[in-house]
C-alpha cells in the first residue's frame, strides 16, 4: 500500500498528520540531590581501561564538559584483571587482591596505584594449592582518586556484588574483624553471569566484609559506587542493605548506583530507601529498539514506557536510571560489539538526550571522550537541556497516542518543558494548541523557546513541527 494521509484527534483538538505509519527512607543527606552527570568507561573500553586512557578522558571531561555539570568519572568493571582479554575463559584470569582478599588495581594498568615500599607475591594455578591465579598487592586507587578530585571532579568505580572467589579459595582474613572469607561467602549464590565472585551470607561476617570494602573505597576517595548483579536477575535486598549500612559507617557521601535492570517496580520502596540510582532496564546500547524476541540490548524506544512507570519515584536522592548514553565513538574496546561510531542517528541521539533529560534520568556518557566531535559536544553542552534535567521538580508522560508521545516537566519560576516525540518509522506532522495537550497548560499564550534550535520562538498558543522518524521537539514555555 502506498503512502496515505490521515488526521487523528488526540487529547482534544491536537492533530497528528502522519504518513506511511508502521507498526520514608534511611538515606544520606545531600547525596545526589540532582540526577548525577558524568562519564563511565564501559561503552568505550569495556574491561580494558588503563590509567593513561582514564586520565585522557578525565582531561576532556574537565575541560569541555565540567563547565556544563558533567562531573563524575567512573572506572567500570575489570580494573583488577591483569589480563582482561581472558574474561571469556575465567580459569585463565589473573586477579590483583590485597592481603584481606579485596580487589585492588593492577599495577601494570594503573601505575599510580603502586604504594611506595609495597611488595607482591604470586600464587599461580600450577602450585598445587590454588586454582585461581591472584597477585597479592598493596595497590590503591587513593592517588588516582586524589588526582580526579584535584580536577574538580568526582571519582567512581564499578564492582560486582560479593566476595572474590580467589579470596575464598585462600580463606583470607576480613580486615577489621575476626572473620575470614569462608565465613562470609555463599558459594551457592554466584552471580549467574559473572565468574569472579561468590555471594555474601546475610550474617555478621557478611556485614564485616562489606564494611571492609567500603572503608577501603572511602580511603580511595570514591564518590560513586556502581554495584552490579544486585538490582535484577537477581535482586539481592540483603546485600543492598549491607552495602548501604557500610556506606553510612564510613561517613563519606557515596552515591550508591545499583545495576543491572530492569529493577522491578515492586522493589521501589526498598531501592529508594537504600540507594541513589538504580537501573530500570538492562544494558542500553546504540540501537533504536530491542530486536524482536530479545531482551538485550535495550534501545532508546524501549525506555519510554519504563521511564513513564518510574517517573513518580524520581526525587532528590533517588533517580531511576535508564543507563548510559552511547553517543559518540564506542572504541577502542566497547563492552559490546566491535569498535564503532554510535549507530544512533542524529535524530535518535537528540531523542535519547531529550527523553533522559525530561524524565530526570542520570546522564552518564559512555563514549570515548577523547574522540568527541563538535556535533556530539554541542548536544552534550546544551544548557537548556541540562537545566531541564537538573532543575525539574516534577516530570511525567503527559500523553501517549500510538507513536506520538508527550512528556512534561515542571521547572522553577513557573516554566514548563514539553517534549514531543515521534517514535514511529515514518514522518509525522504536528499542529495544535498547548491546551489541546493538557488543560493544565491553559488556553493562553506562552513565551516559547526551542531547546535544540537554541532560539526564542516568540509568544505562541501552540506548536507545529515536521518530525522525521524517531525525532523529537523540546520546548521551554515561559509564562
pLDDT at position 130, please?
A: 82
| pLDDT(479) > 50 | yes
Does this chain's domain 5-23+397-478 share its CATH topology with 45-81+139-163+171-392? no
- Nearest Cα neighbor of 448 from 417, 407, 477, 405 is 477
Grid cell of 475 as nine digits: 520546548
pLDDT at position 29, please?
A: 56
- Rounded mean pLDDT of 133-138? 94
- Rounded mean pLDDT of 290-315? 95
What percent of the chain stands above pLDDT 70? 91
| pLDDT(273) > 90 | yes
Average predicted confidence (pLDDT) for the chain = 92
At the fourth CATH level, the homologous superfamily of domain 5-23+397-478 is Golgi alpha-mannosidase II (2.60.40.1180)
pLDDT at position 229, please?
A: 98
| pLDDT(89) > 60 | yes
- Rounded mean pLDDT of 337-348? 98
d(CA 474, CA 418): 6
pLDDT at position 400, please?
A: 96
pLDDT at position 30, please?
A: 82
| pLDDT(9) > 90 | no
- Rounded mean pLDDT of 258-281? 98
Q: What is the CATH number of domain 45-81+139-163+171-392?
A: 3.20.20.70
| pLDDT(392) > 60 | yes
- Rounded mean pLDDT of 6-23? 41
Express each pLDDT in 189-245 by its tens digit.
Answer: 999 999 999 999 999 999 999 999 999 999 999 999 999 999 999 999 999 999 999
Looking at the chain, the number of H-run helices and the number of E-run strands are: 13, 26
- Rounded mean pLDDT of 11-25? 42
d(CA 224, CA 420): 33
| pLDDT(188) > 60 | yes
Q: How far is CA 15 from CA 10, 315, 434, in A?
A: 6, 33, 11
pLDDT at position 295, please?
A: 85
What sign does the CA torsion over 384, 225, 146, 324 have? negative
Q: At what angle do helices 383-391 and 346-358 cross, to 10 degrees?
A: 30
pLDDT at position 207, please?
A: 98
| pLDDT(39) > 60 | yes
pLDDT at position 120, please?
A: 57
- Segments making up each domain of the chain, as ranges: 5-23+397-478, 45-81+139-163+171-392
d(CA 363, CA 283): 14
- Rounded mean pLDDT of 429-436? 94
Question: Could you tell me the pLDDT band of residue 357, with boundaries at 50, 70 and 90?
Answer: very high
CB 349 within 8 Å of CB 355: no
d(CA 87, CA 200): 22
Cell numbers 569498535: residue? 339
Burial class of residue 239, CB neighbours in 10 A (0-12, 13-18, 19+):
buried
pLDDT at position 119, please?
A: 56
Tally of CB atoms within 10 A around 130: 14
Question: Could you tell me the pLDDT band of residue 293, with boundaries at 50, 70 and 90?
Answer: confident
pLDDT at position 128, please?
A: 57
| pLDDT(82) > 90 | yes
CB 145 within 8 Å of CB 58: no
Question: Could you tell me the pLDDT band of residue 95, with boundaries at 50, 70 and 90?
Answer: very high
Express each pLDDT in 150-177 by its tens digit.
Answer: 999 999 999 999 999 999 999 999 999 9
pTM recorded for the entire structure: 0.93
First vs last Cα of the chain: how many Å apart? 45
| pLDDT(20) > 50 | no
CA 189-191-195 angle, to 5 degrees, is: 110
- Rounded mean pLDDT of 112-139? 74
CB 239 within 8 Å of CB 269: no
Amino acid at each position: 500500500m502506498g503512502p496515505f494521509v490521515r488526521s487523528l484527534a488526540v487529547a482534544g483538538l491536537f492533530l497528528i498528520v502522519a504518513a506511511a505509519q508502521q507498526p520514608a527512607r534511611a538515606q544520606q543527606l545531600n547525596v545526589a540531590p540532582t540526577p548525577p552527570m558524568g562519564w563511565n568507561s564501559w561503552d568505550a573500553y569495556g574491561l580494558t581501561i588503563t590509567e593513561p586512557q582514564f586520565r585522557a578522558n578525565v582531561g576532556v571531561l574537565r575541560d569541555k564538559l565540567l563547565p556544563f555539570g558533567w562531573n563524575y568519572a567512573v572506572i567500570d568493571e575489570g580494573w583488577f584483571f591483569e589480563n582482561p582479554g581472558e574474561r571469556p575463559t575465567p580459569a585463565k584470569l589473573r586477579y590483583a587482591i590485597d592481603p584481606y582478599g579485596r580487589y585492588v588495581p593492577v599495577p601494570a594498568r594503573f601505575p599510580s596505584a603502586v604504594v611506595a615500599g609495597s611488595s607482591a607475591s604470586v600464587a599461580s594455578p600450577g602450585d598445587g594449592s590454588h586454582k585461581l591465579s591472584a597477585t597479592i598487592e598493596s595497590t590503591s586507587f587513593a592517588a588516582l582518586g586524589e588526582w580526579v578530585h584535584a580536577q574538580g571532579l568526582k571519582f567512581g568505580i564499578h564492582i560486582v556484588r560479593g566476595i572474590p572467589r580467589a579470596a575464598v579459595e585462600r580463606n583470607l582474613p576480613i580486615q577489621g574483624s575476626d572473620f575470614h572469607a569462608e565465613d562470609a561467602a555463599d558459594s551457592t549464590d554466584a552471580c549467574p553471569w559473572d565468574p569472579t565472585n561468590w555471594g555474601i551470607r546475610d550474617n555478621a561476617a557478611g556485614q564485616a566484609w562489606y564494611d571492609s570494602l567500603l572503608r577501603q573505597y572511602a580511603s580511595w576517595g570514591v564518590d560513586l559506587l556502581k554495584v552490579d548483579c544486585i538490582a535484577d536477575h537477581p535482586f539481592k535486598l540483603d546485600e543492598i542493605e549491607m552495602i548501604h549500612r557500610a556506606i553510612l559507617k564510613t561517613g563519606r557521601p557515596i552515591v550508591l548506583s545499583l545495576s543491572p535492570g530492569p529493577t522491578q517496580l515492586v522493589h521501589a520502596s526498598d531501592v529508594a530507601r537504600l540507594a541513589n540510582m538504580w537501573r530500570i532496564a538492562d544494558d542500553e546500547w546504540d540501537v533504536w529498539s530491542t530486536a524482536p524476541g530479545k531482551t538485550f540490548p535495550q534501545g532508546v524506544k524501549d525506555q519510554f514506557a519504563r521511564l513513564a512507570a518510574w517517573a513518580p519515584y524520581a526525587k532528590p536522592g533517588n533517580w531511576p536510571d535508564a543507563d548510559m548514553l552511547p553517543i559518540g565513538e564506542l572504541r577502542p574496546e566497547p563492552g559490546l560489539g566491535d569498535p564503532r561510531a554510535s549507530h544512533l542517528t542524529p535524530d535518535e541521539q537528540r531523542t535519547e538526550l531529550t527523553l533522559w533529560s525530561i524524565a530526570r534520568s542520570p546522564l552518564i556518557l559512555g563514549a570515548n571522550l577523547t574522540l568527541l566531535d563538535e556535533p556530539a559536544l554541542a548536544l552534550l553542552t546544551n544548557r537548556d537541556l541540562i537545566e531541564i534535567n537538573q532543575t525539574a521538580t516534577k516530570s511525567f508522560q503527559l500523553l501517549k497516542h500510538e507513536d506520538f508521545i508527550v512528556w512534561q516537566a515542571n521547572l522553577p519560576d513557573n516554566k514548563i518543558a514539553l517534549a514531543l516525540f515521534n517514535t514511529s518509522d515514518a514522518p509525522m506532522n504536528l499542529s495544535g494548541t498547548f491546551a489541546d495537550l493538557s488543560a493544565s497548560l491553559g488556553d493562553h499564550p506562552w513565551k516559547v523557546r526551542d531547546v535544540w534550535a537554541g532560539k526564542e520562538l516568540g509568544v505562541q498558543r501552540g506548536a507545529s513541527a515536521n518530525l522525521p522518524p524517531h525525532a523529537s521537539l523540546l520546548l521551554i514555555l515561559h509564562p
